[in-house]
Amino acid sequence: MRRSKNQKQILLQELEELLERLTIPLRYEKGNFKGGLCFYNEKAYFIINKNLSLDQKLQIFRNDLLHVNLEDLFIRPVIREFLSNPHF
C-alpha cells in the first residue's frame, strides 16, 4: 500500500517521538552524509542529513532502530509494522 506524503510525515514524527522516549538525542544537520544512529563517549545519538528526502529519512530510521532494544517499550502497532516490514 502506498502511503501519502502526509502519512509518511506523521510516521516520521512518531519515530522522532520514539527516539525522545528512548532518550536518544536527534539532530538534523547539513553535510555530506546520510546519518543514522551513532555513539560518542558511550552515548547514543541519531543524526540525519536534513536535505534527504522523506523516504530516505524513514529508511534510515528503519535500518538503525532495528539495532535498538524496543522489547520493553510500548510502540504503536503501525510503528512496529513499519520497523519490521521493509515493504510497509
Q: Quick one: residue 45, left, alpha or beta (phi over 0 = left, psi -120 to 50 = alpha)?
A: beta
Domain range summary for the chain, segments of one domain joined by +: 5-78
- Grid look-up 524496543 returns 70
Residue 8 has what pLDDT?
Answer: 93
37 vs 44: CA distance, rounded Å: 7
Per-residue model confidence as pLDDT tens digits over 25-81: 999 999 999 999 999 999 999 999 999 999 999 999 999 998 888 988 999 999 999
